[in-house]
């Protein structure tokens, strides 16, 4: 397992970028659960974010690609709007315990 951050480092309703070796990740906490995805848009194969660390739309209810506006469900990573509609972000296993949030490999 790879340590990502303490639990308080990913607040409720927030998103955050992580990097493990050469793997770019994005994490989102929603309703107390952490969702972890590879930070790679299925449409263009590039990171979803540009210079900002945020990955959520203005309502904080969907993951947003800043490059072409695709929207993804937080719980599943499925694209529900945009040029990659029907495709999905690559979900990664994570674990949260008393020490923090971990990427499971």
Which CATH number characterizes residue 51's domain?
2.102.10.10
Q: What does the pLDDT look like over 19-41, one tens digit per residue?
A: 999 999 999 999 999 999 999 99
pLDDT tens digits, residue range 83-93?
Answer: 999 999 999 99
Arithmetic mean of pLDDT, 4-19: 96
The Cα 74–Cα 6 span in angstroms is 21
The pLDDT tens digits of the residues spanning 51-73 come to: 777 899 999 999 999 988 999 99
Work out the percent of the chain whose per-residue pLDDT is above 70.
98
Range of the domain at 18: 2-103
Question: Is residue 105 predicted with pLDDT exceeding 90?
Answer: no
pLDDT for the residue 21: 92
Q: How many domains does the chain have?
A: 1
List all residues 6 or more positions away from 11 whose beta carbon is below 8 Å from its beta carbon. 29
pTM for this entry: 0.93
Residue 9 has pLDDT above 90, yes or no: yes
What Cα–Cα distance (Å) separates residue 1 from each residue in 27, 32, 37, 39, 86? 16, 21, 15, 18, 30
């Amino acid at each position: 397992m790879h340590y990502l951050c303490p639990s308080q480092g990913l607040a409720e309703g927030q998103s955050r970028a992580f990097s493990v070796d050469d793997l770019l990740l994005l994490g989102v906490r929603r309703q107390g659960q952490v969702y972890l995805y590879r930070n790679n848009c299925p449409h263009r194969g590039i990171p979803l974010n540009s210079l900002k660390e945020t990955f959520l739309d203005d309502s904080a209810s969907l993951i947003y690609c800043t490059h072409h506006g695709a929207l993804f469900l937080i719980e599943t990573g499925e694209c529900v709007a945009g040029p990659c509609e029907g495709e999905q972000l690559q979900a990664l296993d994570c674990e949260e315990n008393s020490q923090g949030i971990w990427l499971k490999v």
